[in-house]
Amino acid sequence: MWLCIHLVCSTAIRATLYFSKREHGYEKAEKSGGLTRFLRLENGIPSHDTANRIFRILDPKQIEQVFRSWISGVVGTLRRKRMGWDDDGHMNLLAADLLAAVLLLFSSVATAALQLSLELGSIHHPAFEAERIRMQPEAGGVLLSIGVLRGGGRQIRDLRLKCRDFDWASGNIRCAGGALKVGADNTVPIDFNYVAASKTLDLTLRDASAASLAGLLPELAAWRPQGKFSATLHLAGSKANFKLDTSMLAFANVAGTQAGEGMMLHVAGTVRDVADTRQWQASIAWQGGEVYWQPWYLKGAGQTITASGIVDATQVRVDAAHAVLPGIGVLDGQLGWNRPRGVLTALSLASDAWQVAPAWAQFGQPLLGETPRVKLDGTARFALAIDASATRSFDLDLDLHGIDVSEGRFVLADLRANVPWRRDAATTAQISSGGGKLGELPLGAFSLPLAMEGWRFGFDKVELPVLDGRLLFENFTAQREVNDGAKGGEAAWRWQLAGALHPLSMPLLSKTLGLPRMEGLLSATIPRIEYADSTLTLNGSLIVSAFDGYLSVAGLKVIDPVGHAPRVVADIDARHLDLAMLTQTFSFGSITGYIDADVRGLEMVGRQPQSFVARIETSPGEFGKRISQRAVQNISSLGGAGAGAAIQRSFLRIFDTFGYEKIGLTCRLVGGICEMGGVEEIEGGDRAGYLMVKGGGLPALSVIGYNRRVSWEELVSRLEAIAAGNSRPVIE
* pLDDT tens-digit map of 598-650: 999 999 998 889 999 999 999 999 888 888 878 887 777 776 544 444 444 44
Return the top range by mean pLDDT from 74-88, 193-207, 406-420, 559-573. Answer: 406-420
> Is the pLDDT confidence value at 56 over 70?
no
| Confidence (pLDDT) at 17 | 42
Residue 130 lies in a domain: yes
CA-CA distance, 150 to 173, in Å (whole number)? 18
pLDDT digits (tens, 9 = 90+) for 441-493: 899 999 999 999 999 999 999 999 999 999 999 999 999 887 655 444 567 88
Nearest to 419, CA basis, from 389, 381, 446, 392: 381
Asked if residue 727 lies in contact with residue 718, where contact means CB atoms within 8 angstroms, the answer is yes
Residue 207 has, within 13 A of its CA and on its CB side, a CA count of 1
CA-CA distance, 166 to 111, in Å (whole number)? 23
CA-CA distance, 287 to 302, in Å (whole number)? 5
Residue 195: give the domain boundaries.
117-237
Question: Residues 89, 134: one domain?
Answer: no
| Confidence (pLDDT) at 355 | 97
Mean pLDDT computed over 265-277: 93
| Confidence (pLDDT) at 49 | 64
CA-CA distance, 19 to 139, in Å (whole number)? 20
> Is the pLDDT confidence value at 181 over 90?
no
Q: Which of 17-26, 135-144, 338-347, 633-642 has the lowest mean pLDDT?
A: 17-26
CA-CA distance, 514 to 517, in Å (whole number)? 9
Residue 76 lies in a domain: yes
Question: Residues 567, 662: one domain?
Answer: yes
Q: Which residue has the higher pLDDT, 683 or 415?
A: 415
pLDDT digits (tens, 9 = 90+) for 348-371: 999 999 999 999 999 999 998 887
Nearest to 637, CA basis, from 596, 615, 614, 665: 665
**How are beta strands 446-453 and 426-433 bridged, if at all?**
antiparallel
Question: Residues 141, 190: one domain?
Answer: yes
Question: Residues 631, 677: one domain?
Answer: yes
| Confidence (pLDDT) at 393 | 97
CA-CA distance, 540 to 542, in Å (whole number)? 7
Type of residue at 603: E
Domain end (from 482, 505, 533): 533
| Confidence (pLDDT) at 296 | 95
Question: Residues 519, 461: one domain?
Answer: yes
Residue 516 lies in a domain: yes
Mean pLDDT computed over 579-587: 79
Question: Residues 572, 707: one domain?
Answer: yes
Residue 137 lies in a domain: yes
CA-CA distance, 575 to 618, in Å (whole number)? 10
Domain end (from 186, 215, 237): 237
CA-CA distance, 395 to 381, in Å (whole number)? 8
Residue 431 lies in a domain: no
**How are beta strands 644-646 and 730-731 bridged, if at all?**
parallel
Backbone torsion region of residue 697, taken as left when φ is above 0, otherwise alpha when ψ lies between -120 and 50, otherwise beta: left
Read off the DSSP letter of residue 515.
P
Mean pLDDT computed over 542-559: 89
The pLDDT > 70 percentage for the chain reads 76
Domain end (from 219, 237, 255): 237
What domain count does the chain have?
4
> Is the pLDDT confidence value at 103 over 80?
no
pTM: 0.70
Mean pLDDT computed over 130-144: 80
Q: Which value, to the nearest 10 degrees, does the dihedral of the CA atoms of residues 120, 124, 129, 130 take?
A: 0
pLDDT digits (tens, 9 = 90+) for 325-344: 999 999 999 999 999 999 99
In the chain, what is the greatest distance between 2 CA atoms, to the nearest angstrom? Answer: 158
> Is the pLDDT confidence value at 295 over 90?
yes
Question: Residues 481, 557: one domain?
Answer: no
CA-CA distance, 161 to 440, in Å (whole number)? 74
Predicted confidence band at 698 (pLDDT cuts at 50, 70, 90)?
low
Return the top range by mean pLDDT from 99-113, 280-294, 648-662. Answer: 280-294
Cα 618 from chain centre: 58
Residue 382 lies in a domain: no
> What are the start-end ranges of the E strands in 483-630?
491-505, 521-532, 535-539, 541-546, 549-559, 567-578, 594-605, 608-618, 626-628
Mean pLDDT computed over 545-558: 90
Cα 295 from chain centre: 5
Residue 356 has, within 13 A of its CA and on its CB side, a CA count of 20
| Confidence (pLDDT) at 111 | 33
Q: Which of 35-44, 666-675, 709-718 has the lowest mean pLDDT?
A: 35-44
CA-CA distance, 33 to 30, in Å (whole number)? 8
Residue 353 lies in a domain: no
Q: Which of 160-169, 239-248, 420-429 has the lowest mean pLDDT?
A: 160-169
Q: What angle do CA 722, 724, 726 make, to 5 degrees?
A: 65
Type of residue at 376: L
Alpha helices in 403-442 (DSSP H): none
Q: Which of 153-162, 371-380, 381-390, 441-450 has the lowest mean pLDDT?
A: 153-162
Question: Residues 96, 138: one domain?
Answer: no
Mapped onto helix, strand or coil, the DSSP state of residue 20 is coil
Q: What are phi and psi of 5, to 5 degrees?
A: -65, -45
Nearest to 495, CA basis, from 484, 482, 505, 481: 481
> Is the pLDDT confidence value at 409 over 60?
yes
Question: Residues 722, 573: one domain?
Answer: yes
Q: Does an H or E element contain 252, and which?
A: strand 239-252
Predicted confidence band at 8 (pLDDT cuts at 50, 70, 90)?
low
Q: Which of 43-57, 256-270, 354-368 has the lowest mean pLDDT?
A: 43-57
CA-CA distance, 324 to 329, in Å (whole number)? 6
> Is the pLDDT confidence value at 63 over 70?
no
Residues ≥6 apart with Cβ < 8 Å to 221: 214
**How are beta strands 172-182 and 186-195 bridged, if at all?**
antiparallel
Q: Which residue has the higher pLDDT, 96 or 579?
A: 579
Return the top range by mean pLDDT from 137-141, 549-553, 699-703, 714-718. Answer: 549-553
> Is the pLDDT confidence value at 228 over 90?
yes
Q: What are phi and psi of 644, to 5 degrees?
A: -165, 170
Q: What are phi and psi of 718, to 5 degrees?
A: -65, -40
Question: Residues 499, 572: one domain?
Answer: no
Mean pLDDT over each residue of the chain, to the nearest integer: 81
Mean pLDDT computed over 234-239: 89
Predicted confidence band at 109 (pLDDT cuts at 50, 70, 90)?
very low
Residues ≥6 apart with Cβ < 8 Å to 210: 225, 226, 227, 228, 229, 246, 249, 250, 251
| Confidence (pLDDT) at 639 | 60
Q: Which residue has the higher pLDDT, 112 or 571?
A: 571
| Confidence (pLDDT) at 106 | 38
CA-CA distance, 587 to 313, in Å (whole number)? 79
Question: Residues 513, 633: one domain?
Answer: no
Question: Residues 83, 166: one domain?
Answer: no
Residue 217 lies in a domain: yes
Q: Which residue has the higher pLDDT, 188 or 477?
A: 477
Length of the chain: 732
Nearest to 168, CA basis, from 138, 137, 205, 140: 137
